[in-house]
A and B are shown apart, each in its own frame.
Chain A
Amino acid sequence: MSPATQGALVLLVTLIVLLSGAPVAFGLGAISIAFVVLFQGFDALHVVAETFYAGLNDFTLVSIPMFVMMGAAIGSSPAGKDLYEALDRWLYRLPGGLVISNLGACALFAALTGSSPACCAAIGKMGIPEMRSRGYPDDIATGSICAGGTLGILIPPSITFILYGIATETSIGRLFLAGVVPGAMLTALFMLWTLFIIWKRGFRVHAADFRYTWKEKFGSIPKVAPFLAIVIGVMYVLYGGIATPSEAAGVGAALCVVMAMVIYRMWRPRQWWKILRDTTRESVMILMIIAAAVLFGYMLTSLYLTQTLAQGIADMHVNRWVLMAMINLFLLVCGFFIPPAAIILMTAPILYPIIKAAGFDPVWFGVILTINMEIGLIHPPVGLNIYIVSAIAPDVPVARIMWGTIPYVLCMMLQIVLLCIFPEIATWLPDHLMGAVH
């Protein structure tokens, strides 16, 4: 059987298995073992256990549970509520101030937790009822929170970037920095669109007829500031090359847990268990996919499928931007069905040589890939954030929430186009702070 036929068979079986609803990690593992045995015989099984173990035996991976714990400690505390209140109290008198508060809180909370669902749930719980009570249309109230939640995987520290960095051996610090400006731009695009649509619908001033006192305005800041300081500290240590991502994240996680205990008095064993349970669930899920994806990658490489695909694309001699458009389309479609972690781990090793051969910057591509993943988070049929927001506002029909997210999907596509025209949006900051890579 030719590698092309083998590749088509692997693709078909992978699609069937993943769409059946089997856990991604076990599905990928089963496919890998089945094809290794099918094409290489039972003798090839002796490397399976070693490859499965080797996929996890890497100190860089330690940063994943550490960053997840940082997010879990902050996400389990009322920090999201305080952050939202702090912004709202400062911005409530501005026209559209509530939108800026909501999306700003999403962006900041994203930086704190690195998790889109956590961000959506934490800010949405306060933001959506508040916006609806002040007369915002349901599609704007829910759509903006869905979109704001996606910023969690673009604004550093982001698990998505860590996974991409590990899968492609790209600098995680550089990737984090590359996400800063596009993340801020995307937040601004979301805000601009929301303000525009509010203005267009004749909803200009929504300031309440009361004023917050200075005491109230400053009330929430001392609670949130330490968490922001920790995250900024972790970033500084990382970018300064003072410590490795795993060390920085480990200390950051410990500090966030201690801060949650001190500031929010989270002393009870039940509260501790919630942080540890959330950390364990998310970390184990991601790490098992990593182990299975390494096995999957081994199967693809040993059957020469990756090399055949890369060669086939090179032989097509298509324009590099046509190639980029095709890759974006492919990622977009994957994002509609498959969770971001699985897509990155499955596709990054395949796409990386293609991207490099076409002369694209892998760090820049990491940002493009992440925005594609963000679209998948708010786009049907999977659209995880849509269902999180639906749980927060059960009386808003899911279809209305989905319609509310469409303009934000277009904002993200615009951001991808802008990044293609001006790659410096992503590359300027890492090049400026860490030096250019030649």
Chain B
Amino acid sequence: MAAHRRSIDAFIRSVRRLSTLCGFVAAALIGAGVVVVCEMVFVRYALNRNTIWQTDFVTYCLVAATFIGSPFVLLTRGHVNVDVLPHYAGPLSRRWLALFASVLTIAFCVVIAVLTFMFWKEAWDNKWVSDTMWRARLWIPYASMPIGLGLLTLQSIADLMALLTGREAPFGITVERVP
């Protein structure tokens, strides 16, 4: 029993570390986006030269930051939800609501992770390139989708396990709201 508990703890801890790492990567991608936008503005307006790769690069950075940063945002409860019912529901109903929300999240994450993986595979197999001047190989930006959404699936499974085993309160609500 204790070994079982420890393995669950280890799984949740590992996934959380992975999600935190995702947060650092996403933050770095956004930071890189800001730097490249500044470089692009300088090249375009100060040097009066054409820019080729910058627009695509910044867009890909932001798309990648969104998918890869998503597990971190789920970990830190940053994905907004409508928490009226959970707040006003009793403890038992709140638990059922949390289970429903959690299962729905996992179902979506699994389906979209598989679909985006197939999309990425298509880009890889057919050697797709962007229709812009840069002609970027599209499997690179597309890879952020299955990677980020796969890790998001892991984080949502870890959240469900934490909820089922009582490690986390439903929706993180530990005290009753006083109206």
Chain A contacts to B: CB under 8 angstroms = 17-27, 29-30, 33, 45, 48-50, 52-53, 56-59, 61-62, 65-66, 69, 242-243, 246-247, 250-251, 253-254, 257, 273, 276-277, 279-285, 287-289, 291, 337-339, 341-342, 381-382, 397-399
> B59-87 CB contact bits vs A (8 Å, 1 = yes)?
10011011001101110101111111111
Q: A56 touching B63 by the CB < 8 A rule? A: yes
CB-CB under 8 A for A287 and B105, given A33-B111, A48-B112: no
Using A53-B142, A247-B40, A287-B62 as known contacts, say yes or no to A398 and B82 having CB atoms under 8 A apart: no
Query: Of A18, A66, A242, A247, which is within 8 A of B82 by CB?
Result: A18
Q: Is B104 an interface residue (CB 8 A)?
A: yes
Is B150 part of the binding interface, using a Cβ–Cβ cutoff of 8 Å?
A: no
**Which of A33, A247, A338, A397 meets B108, CB within 8 Å?**
A33
Q: Given A62-B33, A250-B33, A337-B82, list of 15 further CB < 8 A pairs?
A: A22-B101, A26-B104, A27-B108, A49-B116, A49-B145, A52-B115, A250-B38, A253-B34, A254-B34, A257-B34, A285-B73, A285-B79, A287-B65, A342-B80, A398-B178
How many angstroms between the C-alpha atoms of A338 and B84 in the bound complex? 9
Chain B, Cβ-Cβ closest to A24 = B80
B73 contact from A17, A19, A281, Cβ within 8 A:
A281
Chain A residues near B76: list those with CB within 8 A: 281
Is there an interface contact between A280 and B37, defined as CB atoms closer than 8 Å?
Answer: no
CB <8 Å contact, B59 and A26: no
Smallest Cβ distance from B81 to chain A, in angstroms?
A: 5
Chain A residues contacting B27 (CB-CB under 8 Å) are 273, 276-277, 279-280
Q: Assess whether B162 is interfacial by the CB under 8 Å rule.
A: no
Verify A50–B59 contact, CB threshold 8 A: no
Q: Which residues of B contact A29 (CB under 8 A)?
A: 108, 112
A residues less than 8 Å from B88 (CB atoms): 381
Contact A250 B37 (CB under 8 A): yes
A-B contact count (CB 8 A): 188
A250 pairs with B79, CB closer than 8 A: no
Q: Is B35 part of the contact surface with A, judged by Cβ < 8 Å?
A: yes
- Shortest CB distance B140–A (Å): 13
B141 CB, min distance to chain A CBs, angstroms = 8
Structural contact, A284 and B101, CB atoms closer than 8 A: no
Given contacts A49-B112, A250-B41, A281-B76, contact A382 B82 (CB under 8 A): yes
Given A250-B41, A283-B30, A285-B80, A19 and B118 contact (CB-CB distance below 8 Å): no
Residues of chain B at interface, number, CB under 8 A? 58
**Contact in complex: A284, B65 (CB < 8 Å):** yes
A23 & B105 in contact (Cβ 8 Å cutoff): yes
A341 to chain B, nearest CB (A): 7
CB under 8 Å from chain A, chain B span 42-60: 44-45, 55, 58-59
Complex-state Cα separation, A276 to B69, whole angstroms: 12
Contacts of B169 in A (CB 8 A): none
Cβ B63 vs Cβ A57 within 8 A? yes
Those 5 A-B pairs whose CB atoms lie nearest each other, nearest first: A250-B37, A23-B79, A49-B119, A22-B101, A276-B27
Which chain A residues border B80 with CB–CB below 8 Å? 23-24, 285, 289, 339, 341-342
Chain A residue nearest to B87 (CB atoms) is: A381
Within 8 Å by CB of B83, from A21, A33, A242, A399, lies A21
Shortest Cβ distance from residue A438 to the other chain B in the assembled complex, whole angstroms: 31
A66 and B59 contacting across the interface, CB-CB below 8 Å: no
Chain B residues lying within 8 Å of A52, measured Cβ to Cβ, are 112, 115-116, 145
29 A–B contact pairs at CB < 8 A? Answer: A19-B84, A20-B85, A20-B97, A20-B100, A21-B82, A21-B83, A21-B97, A21-B171, A23-B79, A25-B79, A30-B105, A33-B108, A45-B115, A49-B145, A58-B59, A61-B62, A62-B58, A250-B33, A276-B30, A276-B31, A279-B30, A280-B27, A283-B69, A284-B26, A284-B66, A284-B72, A284-B78, A288-B66, A398-B178
Interface centre among B74, B80, B100, B107 (most CB of A within 10 A): B80
The CA of A191 and the CA of B65, in the complex, are separated in Å by: 41
* Chain A residues whose CB sits within 8 angstroms of the CB of B115 once the complex forms: 45, 48-49, 52
**In contact, B37 and A66 (Cβ under 8 angstroms):** yes
Q: Which residues of B contact A257 (CB under 8 A)?
A: 34
